[in-house]
Amino acid sequence: MRDGARIPARTYRRPDVHGAAPVVVYYHGGGWTLGRPLDYESPLTMIADETGALVLAPDYRKAPEHKAPTAVLDTYKSLYLDGAPVAADDAQISPLQAASHEGAAPALIQTAEFDPLAPEGADYAAALQRSGVATRLTHYRGVPHGFLNIPGAAPVAWQARWEIVDALQGWFA
């Protein structure tokens, strides 16, 4: 709940996993304007099944009805701050703008050849690496933004999904 609005989330967990488990928080794509966690059911189920993690996929209020940074704050506040006040700043809208990346979690950044956001992904990977954060950047050729969700049309999406699973398993070990 944020500002009186209910912020729904979907959870994915392998049925045979009980008790404590690693948690993966997945913010769905859509440029803060469209989409929903259900649209990512296939890759999120795979991540939960293959890693044994609890996958939490929150939704958020979208533009144009809700101006930036409403979506970012919806996800951040509903999961981490229990409604505590948070000042909206550039680092919350884009982690690339953070004053420091030291101490950030390891990162796997996947970009696509036909994605206008690919240069920002590469810049973010470089910023993390400069701060000493273990970072892997994989650039997938011949595919558009969102290819992870269309393995039938972009078979390399399977490779990208398995790369995510492999990275998570390594971080959880």
CA-derived radius of gyration, the chain: 16
Average pLDDT of the chain, as a whole number: 90
In the predicted structure, residue 81 carries a pLDDT above the cut 80: no
- Categorize the per-residue pLDDT at 77 as very low, low, confident or very high, splitting at 50, 70 and 90: low
Which tokens belong to 151?
């393995």
pTM of the model: 0.89
CA distance 146 to 116: 11
Phi, psi of 113 (to 5 degrees): -60, -45
User: Would you say 51 and 43 are in contact if contact means Cβ atoms under 8 Å apart?
Assistant: no
- Categorize the per-residue pLDDT at 43 as very low, low, confident or very high, splitting at 50, 70 and 90: very high
Give mean pLDDT, residues 134-156. 97
Give mean pLDDT, residues 49-70. 92
In the predicted structure, residue 78 carries a pLDDT above the cut 70: no
**Three-state secondary structure string covering 17-53:** CCCCCCEEECCCCCCCCCCCHHHHHHHHHHHHHHHCC
